[in-house]
Amino acid sequence: MKAAEKMYKRLAILSVIIFTALCGLSWMGYRSIQMRAKGMEGTRIGEFAEVAEQIRQDIKRKLDEFMQVEQNRPYTDYQYYYVPESAFSSMQQQVPLVRSPLNDRIENSFAYGNFQIEPDGKIVTPYYQQGQQIADTGLSNLAVRHISNIEQNLLPVLSATAGAFKLPASPVLLSNEKKAEITPKDYEKEDLYAAKAQSRRGKYAIESLKQEAQQEQVISQRRSVAVSNVQTSDSVQEQQARQRRIAEPQALPQSDAVALAQEESSPVQMGLPGQSWQQGLSNEQEDLVQIRIEPFVPVIVDTPETEQSIFDGQVFMLRHVQIEDRHFLQGFQLNEKKLIEEIGDSAKRFMRDGMDFDLAQTQDPQAAFTAILDFGFGGLALNLIEMDPAWIGRQINRIQNWYFSIITIVFLAVMLGLASLWRNVRAQVKLAQKKDDFISAVSHELRTPLTSIRMYSEMLEKKWVKSEDKVNEYYRNMRQESERLSRLIENVLDFSRIQKGRKKYTFSLGDINQCIANVVEMMRPYAAQNGFSIKTDFQSIVQTVFDNDAVAQIVVNLLDNAVKYARDAEDKTITIRTKDGGQFVLIEVQDHGPGVPRQQRKKVFEEFYRIGSEARRETNGTGLGLALVKKFAQAHNGFVEILSAKPSGAVFRVGLAVQS
């Protein structure tokens, strides 16, 4: 009773500890789900930020490549005509003029309308000469409007000093700074919401258009080429003036108008005024001229169309070019439409599942993440949108459902575990009792044959037995007791090997009937000594693969079991038969004893289990014989079972899988 009370007390303490731990784990699990929700949201924001960074890098790469091309673009590409350097290597009297490679399109990647501003404010473009008749092509119309835009909006903000236009000290000129920095003031009325909005916004700098991202260029060119190009620009302006006079003949005398018309009808590739090949040849011998090309500087001009711009106005990229004492500006207008298209294309390529985007001037409060693409003089809001904002909530609900289900199952499992703990303890107690019984049984089983062998050997040694028949009987008894002792020891050793996984089987093809018949002949004297006779009934069975020693042990233990438990039977005939069961070879041992109760038919194959009390020693044995029969049958992929025999008794059936 005291041991039971201690056991119950320990179980109560263990139960309290387990329930306390479960409650703590439940609370920690619920907190973990809340942290998981924040983590999933943070992870998703991180994915948006990663996409924004990929878009930034892609746009920066495109702008870097574009600016590299524009920085390396020859200054002559900005003129309507220019003199190629190769022209002075030919033997021609008149130096030809070549059209700019930019003459066929006003849009060139991110550049729109390349132009050159002369020191006197004149504008030269590769597309159109001021004063010439406007063609029906759309390029001429676009060029005229572009020149007009430069004259009306850009030139006024450029300071003219000493007759030359110079770039401003600051790269950005603004008269309106309402969009200088994108800050969603309307969405920051509450501190909590403002903090959340701030965490979902990032600034991504793209320095490709900044002056600091470029390098100044100093190139050398033959003086004759440089002077020719300068004179070409001047002659183009003179031609523009002549064209204006031709366009208004009523303002000129008739003779001058005719002369100008004849002059205008000359070919496009005309020689420079007053310059011939001999002059070019002499110029070849002159020194080199250094041409200094400064980096592009972004200049933003506030115009009435500013509201439609992604920046604070029109963006012009200008660079200063110096050829000795001659200064002029070259540049282009940044093509915002092309820039937005490229940003959109990059965003489409890097969008992931469940993401979408929107380009705007301000942050969208409904956006999951807003990337401010900062070009150094203005920014564009890339609003990244979550297509299914509720998916995180659904995931968390699913996790919570799983969590509560698991917690419920865990609590039930703990209850069942505690309920079964007592049964397990009882089972361990019973197992310990079985082991004690086993030790007692083994001691008894060993003592009995040893005592008999000792007694017979002493009688024979002291020659107390005079009859030859008695001598033979004693020798026979000693042999039988030795065999009984050997079987006992072999069972114990086999069980030990099986428990440790060291039992080795030798499978070979053979006649199982012959194997069983040999064991029966060996067991007949033992059975006869106990008053039993063994009857065999073998069916014809094809040869199969089996372990000879294991099958022999099965038959020995079944016959020994029949002798022990049927000793009080009236009919002491033991029948052993074999049958062909299709996939199994069936071995049956039938006795006419009391049989085995149905509720104990599985227990008798457990190790150490014996019917009856060990204290009363109703039968001999250690409780290992039938357990070994089951182990050997399982090694042959077989089974064991007990059937009722008629009119009384039991049939122990062993099935061994047929293997060819």
pLDDT at position 185 over 50: no
What integer pLDDT is reported at residue 43 of this predicted model? 87
What value does the mean pLDDT of the chain take? 78
% of residues, the chain, pLDDT over 90 = 20
In this structure, are strands 533-538 and 573-580 parallel, antiparallel, or unpaired? parallel
The band of 81, judged by pLDDT with boundaries at 50, 70 and 90, is confident
Closest to 281 measured CA to CA, from 18, 145, 93: 93
Question: How far is the C-alpha of 240 from the C-alpha of 98, rounded, in Å?
Answer: 17
What integer pLDDT is reported at residue 244 of this predicted model? 46
What integer pLDDT is reported at residue 135 of this predicted model? 56
The band of 375, judged by pLDDT with boundaries at 50, 70 and 90, is confident
Least confident stretch, 64-78, 386-400, 435-449 = 435-449
Which amino acid is it at 416? L
Mean pLDDT of 454-475: 81
- Phi, psi (deg, nearest 5) at residue 574: -105, 125
How open is the CA angle 126-132-135, to the nearest 5 degrees? 80
Question: How far is the C-alpha of 519 from the C-alpha of 262, rounded, in Å?
Answer: 136
% of residues, the chain, pLDDT over 70 = 76
Closest to 319 measured CA to CA, from 216, 227, 234, 207: 216
- Residues 547-565 pLDDT 10s: 888 898 899 889 988 988 8
3-class SS of residue 652 = strand
What integer pLDDT is reported at residue 198 of this predicted model? 57
| Residue 327, both tokens | 């200064």
Which of the two residues, 351 and 255, has the higher pLDDT score?
Answer: 351
The band of 421, judged by pLDDT with boundaries at 50, 70 and 90, is confident
Region of 204 (left: φ > 0; alpha: ψ -120 to 50; beta: rest) is: beta
The band of 453, judged by pLDDT with boundaries at 50, 70 and 90, is confident
Question: How far is the C-alpha of 491 from the C-alpha of 611, rounded, in Å?
Answer: 18
What integer pLDDT is reported at residue 217 of this predicted model? 87
Mean pLDDT of 79-95: 68
Residues sharing a CB contact under 8 Å with residue 7, sequence separation 6 or more, in sequence order: 425
Region of 332 (left: φ > 0; alpha: ψ -120 to 50; beta: rest) is: beta
Which of the two residues, 608 and 171, has the higher pLDDT score?
Answer: 608
Which amino acid is it at 235? S
Question: How far is the C-alpha of 371 from the C-alpha of 180, rounded, in Å?
Answer: 16
What integer pLDDT is reported at residue 182 of this predicted model? 37
- Residues 195-252 pLDDT 10s: 455 567 888 999 888 877 788 889 888 887 888 777 666 655 555 444 444 445 444 4
Mean pLDDT of 459-467: 80
Mean pLDDT of 588-610: 85
What integer pLDDT is reported at residue 618 of this predicted model? 53
| Residue 576, both tokens | 């052993």
Mean pLDDT of 138-146: 84
Least confident stretch, 69-83, 294-308, 564-578 = 294-308
What integer pLDDT is reported at residue 512 of this predicted model? 92
What integer pLDDT is reported at residue 186 of this predicted model? 39
Which of the two residues, 104 and 138, has the higher pLDDT score?
Answer: 104
The band of 281, judged by pLDDT with boundaries at 50, 70 and 90, is very low
Mean pLDDT of 157-184: 50
The band of 172, judged by pLDDT with boundaries at 50, 70 and 90, is very low
What integer pLDDT is reported at residue 616 of this predicted model? 44
What integer pLDDT is reported at residue 118 of this predicted model? 87
What integer pLDDT is reported at residue 270 of this predicted model? 37
Q: Are 329 and 309 spatial neighbours (Cβ–Cβ below 8 Å)?
A: no
Mean pLDDT of 391-402: 87
pLDDT at position 612 over 70: no
What sign results for the dihedral spanned by CA atoms 299, 300, 305, 309? positive
Residues sharing a CB contact under 8 Å with residue 625, sequence separation 6 or more, in sequence order: 491, 557, 560, 561
The band of 190, judged by pLDDT with boundaries at 50, 70 and 90, is very low
What integer pLDDT is reported at residue 517 of this predicted model? 93
Mean pLDDT of 148-170: 71
Task: Tell me the HSE value of 395 on the side-chain side, using a 13 A CA sphere.
Answer: 14
Of 79-83, 281-285, 307-311, 452-456, which has the strongest mean pLDDT? Answer: 79-83
Residues sharing a CB contact under 8 Å with residue 266, sequence separation 6 or more, in sequence order: none
Mean pLDDT of 441-459: 73
Around Cβ 491, how many Cβ atoms within 10 Å?
Answer: 23
> In Å, how far are 345, 587, 644 from 633, measured between CA atoms?
73, 11, 20
Least confident stretch, 12-26, 164-178, 253-267, 572-586 = 253-267
CA 209 to mean position of chain CA atoms: 37
Domains present along the chain, CATH in parentheses: 77-178+224-334 (no CATH), 425-657 (3.30.565.10)
- Phi, psi (deg, nearest 5) at residue 488: -65, -50
Q: Convert 544-566 to b/e letters by CB count within 10 Å (16 or more is b).
A: bebbbebbbbbbbbbbbbbbbbb
> In Å, how far are 87, 230, 469 from 239, measured between CA atoms?
22, 14, 155
pLDDT at position 266 over 80: no
DSSP single-letter state for residue 64: H
What integer pLDDT is reported at residue 58 of this predicted model? 94
- Residues 470-479 pLDDT 10s: 888 778 778 8
Instruction: Give me the torsion for CA of 501, 503, 504, 506, rounded to 10°.
Output: -140
What integer pLDDT is reported at residue 254 of this predicted model? 46
Which amino acid is it at 230? V
In the block, tokens 């060119």 appear at 221
> In Å, how far are 38, 68, 594 from 657, measured between CA atoms?
60, 82, 30
- Residues 316-333 pLDDT 10s: 999 999 988 888 899 999
pLDDT at position 53 over 70: yes
Around Cβ 467, how many Cβ atoms within 10 Å?
Answer: 8
| Residue 299, both tokens | 């200049």
